[in-house]
Amino acid sequence: MIWLPTGRIVGSLLPRTPTCPSGLRSFNGVYSMKVVDNETWVMDQFSSCELKHKKRTERLQTVASNMLACPEASLPGQNTQWKDLKAAYRLFDRPEVTHAAVCQPHWEKTRATRPGRYLMISDTTDVDHYSHQATTGLGMLGDGKGRGMQLHSCLAYDCHNQKIVGQAGAMLFYRSKAPKNESRTQRLKRTREGCYWGEVVDQVGPPPEGSQWIHVFDRGADNFESFCHLAQSGCDWIVRAAQLHRNVLDHEGETKKLCDIVDDAQLLGSYELNLRSRPGVAARTAKINVSVATVTFVPPAHRSPYVKQCGVDEVSMRVVFVQEVDAPKGVTPIRWVLLTSLAVETFEDAWQVIEDYEHRWLIEEYHKVIKSGCSIEQHALRTADRLEALIGLISVIGIRLFELKLLGRTEYKTKANGRVPSSWTKCLAILRPNLKVQGLTVYEFFRELGKLGGFLGRKSDGEPGWQTIWRGYRKMQSLLDAMKLTGQIKDEIRG
Ligand SMILES: [Mn+2]
């Protein structure tokens, strides 16, 4: 079967025509979310945190509200009253206030998915605290000069409603320096980074009745241990293969290299992809073949303690090869090798797997939001333990910011009225007196908010950036606070 869709999109393996004016990839449906005001949202997320004292949970909510009002500021910038700042520091200093304790209610809320199909997209990111030399307990980053920790988080994405559900689980870990003359066995014992993927799979757990969860992992997760966790999780998976030269069993049980399986894989179809020019690479139309085979993974020679005791001897799955053919000389042909538990019989099935994998930009964007939007790396606390709890708080706040960001870019048909808090529209009307706020769609609402933050909105300007929208949002927030003080707007708790 040869299937040749027409279309043009760059940075994606799938040609498709975006219907969203911002051209934001993979979001061309309705993003159905009602935005509640900050107070209600904070209460929903944090009021059931178990911190061993009611007052502590209340303080966490205050710190969270202050953070949401100006997420990019430091703790002193967010808690401008001395007593609030001291209370915030005291809060993070408590042994009960841990990363997991802060995030637990949010994780549980996220995991209680309604029946449907969900992607569980995970990735690891460095949280660099190099500039804070005084902080103790940090690990190594990069080439050994950086100091900080690694955040491994799992983002749940609702395929049907095309929206972020929340963070379903996360872990923080520290990398240690390699000792001199380290042996292979010692190194395998020390670097356990590949295993965090599996540990987060266990933490996230099995889906509730009627939900299908598909873990979407990049090449970092391609190890036998991850597949053992996945096979026992009750979830499906799509993992991009990293080790193409590893030995696997083909459908006849013969040992072969993974990359050689492609020769006998079943060709499902092919398509053409227009690629824009990049520095050093000319624009081209790539012809891409999609084929599928069944493979069985067997334990490696060096088995980790987990693999030894978990009772999984082999894991069978499909492998989808996305391979550019007849690539011009001198360019690296496009190649994606995706390992999946999903049934792949037809071209459409394979298409679905590729499309699911392409949602990985969401986790990268989420990590960007918490790192630049919430300045996660700017916070100076004295010990790594305190930072961990703060990172937990920021990860949950980041979900809210990320949702708002996506919302502004997708709901270009729905009216803002009834979707965003009425106090927000009221404020926008005051700040932009010539604007008719009543008929605005959600998309236009966030665009106008961007204009408050300095977005000019000329034809050639494209879409307002995240930071610009946020500047506008903060102007609106200040007015909102003032109006609440003077009694012009009542607190919209549960509103
Ligand atoms: Mn990664």
Is 264 inside any structural domain?
yes
Domain termination residue (choose one: 315, 339, 372): 372
Is 44 inside any structural domain?
no
Q: Is 11 exposed, middle or buried (0-12, 13-18, 19+ CB in 10 A)?
A: exposed
User: Which residues neighbour 103 within 8 Å (Cβ) at sequence distance 6 or greater?
Assistant: 167, 170, 392, 395, 396
Q: How far is the CA of 14 from the centre of ligand 1 (A)?
A: 21
Report the number of distinct structural domains present in the chain.
2
Q: Are residues 445 and 346 in the same domain?
A: no
Q: Residue 168 sits in which domain range?
A: 115-372
Would you state the pLDDT for residue 106? Answer: 97
Q: Are residues 258 and 182 in the same domain?
A: yes
Would you state the pLDDT for residue 156? Answer: 97
Is 63 inside any structural domain?
no
Q: Are residues 461 and 315 in the same domain?
A: no
Q: How far is the CA of 222 from the centre of ligand 1 (A)?
A: 11
Phi, then psi, of 347 in degrees rounded to 5: -60, -40
Q: Position of tokens 């809060």?
A: 91
Q: How far apart are CA 150 and CA 195, in angstroms?
A: 13
Is 341 inside any structural domain?
yes
Q: Are residues 206 and 350 in the same domain?
A: yes
Q: How far apart are CA 7 and CA 183, in angstroms?
A: 52
* Cα end-to-end span (Å), the chain: 54
Phi, then psi, of 94 in degrees rounded to 5: -70, 140
Q: Are residues 169 and 234 in the same domain?
A: yes
Which CA distances in Å does 281 have to 13, 134, 245, 288?
A: 17, 45, 27, 18
Would you state the pLDDT for residue 95? Answer: 93
By C-alpha distance, which of 114, 207, 107 is closest to 163? Answer: 114
Low-confidence ranges of the chain (pLDDT < 70): 1-34, 130-134, 143-145, 188-192, 490-495
Q: How many CB atoms lie within 10 A of CB 321?
A: 25
Phi, then psi, of 229 in degrees rounded to 5: -60, -45
Q: Are residues 271 and 147 in the same domain?
A: yes
Q: How far apart are CA 255 and CA 408, in angstroms?
A: 51
Q: Which residues surround ligand 1, an ion (CB under 5 A)?
A: 123, 218, 220
Domain termination residue (choose one: 312, 343, 372): 372
Would you state the pLDDT for residue 345? Answer: 93
State pLDDT tens for residues 64-83: 999 988 888 889 989 999 99
- In our burial notation (b when 16+ CB lie closer than 10 A, e otherwise), range 209-246 reads eebbbbbbbbebbbbbbbbbbbbbbebbbbbbbeeeeb
Q: How far is the CA of 216 from the centre of ligand 1 (A)?
A: 11
- Please give the helix or strand (H or E) that residue 124 lies within, else none: strand 116-128
Q: How far is the CA of 215 from the centre of ligand 1 (A)?
A: 13
Would you state the pLDDT for residue 396? Answer: 96
Q: How far apart are CA 304 and CA 195, in angstroms?
A: 9
Single-letter code of the amino acid located at 442 = V
Q: How far is the CA of 132 from the centre of ligand 1 (A)?
A: 25
Which CA distances in Å does 311 have to 256, 307, 308, 475?
A: 24, 7, 7, 57
Q: Are 321 and 290 in contact (CB under 8 A)?
A: yes
Sign of CA dihedral 480, 481, 483, 487: positive
Is 452 inside any structural domain?
yes
Q: How far apart are CA 25 and CA 101, in angstroms?
A: 34
Q: How far apart are CA 269 and CA 4, in angstroms?
A: 9
Q: Are residues 346 and 421 in the same domain?
A: no
Q: How far is the CA of 219 from the centre of ligand 1 (A)?
A: 7
Would you state the pLDDT for residue 186? Answer: 73
Domain termination residue (choose one: 342, 372, 402): 372
The helix/strand/coil state of 284 is strand
Where would I find the beta strands (DSSP E) of 129-220?
139-141, 146-158, 163-173, 211-217
Q: How far is the CA of 122 from the centre of ligand 1 (A)?
A: 8
Q: Are residues 348 and 472 in the same domain?
A: no
Is 450 inside any structural domain?
yes
Q: Are 322 and 290 in contact (CB under 8 A)?
A: yes
Would you state the pLDDT for residue 221? Answer: 94
CATH code of the domain containing 215:
3.90.350.10
Would you state the pLDDT for residue 264? Answer: 85
Q: How far is the CA of 220 from the centre of ligand 1 (A)?
A: 6
By C-alpha distance, which of 37, 119, 143, 54 is closest to 362? Answer: 119
Q: Are residues 417 and 367 in the same domain?
A: no
Is 491 inside any structural domain?
no
Q: How far is the CA of 159 from the centre of ligand 1 (A)?
A: 21
Q: How far apart are CA 474 and CA 78, in angstroms?
A: 12
Q: Is 361 exposed, middle or buried (0-12, 13-18, 19+ CB in 10 A)?
A: middle
Q: How far is the CA of 350 from the centre of ligand 1 (A)?
A: 22
Q: Are residues 223 and 357 in the same domain?
A: yes
The most distant pair of C-alpha atoms in the chain lies apart, rounded to whole Å, by 77
Q: Are residues 231 and 309 in the same domain?
A: yes
User: Which residues neighbour 358 within 8 Å (Cβ) at sequence distance 6 or greater?
Assistant: 12, 13, 14, 25, 26
Q: Are residues 328 and 473 in the same domain?
A: no
Phi, then psi, of 419 in degrees rounded to 5: -100, -45
Is 433 inside any structural domain?
yes
State pLDDT tens for residues 258-288: 999 988 899 998 888 888 888 888 888 888 8
User: Which residues neighbour 38 within 8 Å (Cβ) at sequence distance 6 or greater?
Assistant: 65, 68, 69, 477
Would you state the pLDDT for residue 166? Answer: 96
Task: Give the up-direction half-sphere exposure of residue 192: CA atoms within 13 A in the CB hemisphere.
Answer: 14
Q: How far is the CA of 38 from the centre of ligand 1 (A)?
A: 31
